[in-house]
Amino acid sequence: MQTPVTTALAVHQRPTLSDSLFLGFLALMLIAVAGVGRMAYTEGLKNEVSKKNALAWATWLEHMGEERFKENFEPSVCAGNETTPNGNTWAGCLPKLMNSASHLAGMHNPFTQKPLVFASKCDPSNKSLAGALVIEKLVPTPPGSAAAFYPSPLTDRDAIDQKMQLRVTACDQGAYPSQATEVAF
Beta strands in the chain (DSSP E): 118-119, 133-140, 149-153, 165-171, 177-184
Q: Is the peptide bond before 153 cis (omega within 30 degrees of 0)?
A: no
Q: What is the pLDDT of residues 85-124, one digit of tens each?
A: 567 888 888 888 887 767 787 889 999 999 888 999 999 9
Whole-number pLDDT of residue 46: 94
Q: Spell out the domain ranges in the chain.
A: 19-184
Q: Which of 159, 139, 163 is nearest to 91 (CA)?
A: 159
CB 25 within 8 A of CB 104: no
pLDDT digits (tens, 9 = 90+) for 60-71: 889 888 888 888
Q: Model-level pTM?
A: 0.78
Residue 109 burial class via C-beta count within 10 angstroms: exposed 0-12, middle 13-18, buried 19 and up: buried
Q: What's the pLDDT tens digit per position in 122-163?
A: 999 999 999 999 999 998 888 888 888 888 988 888 888 888
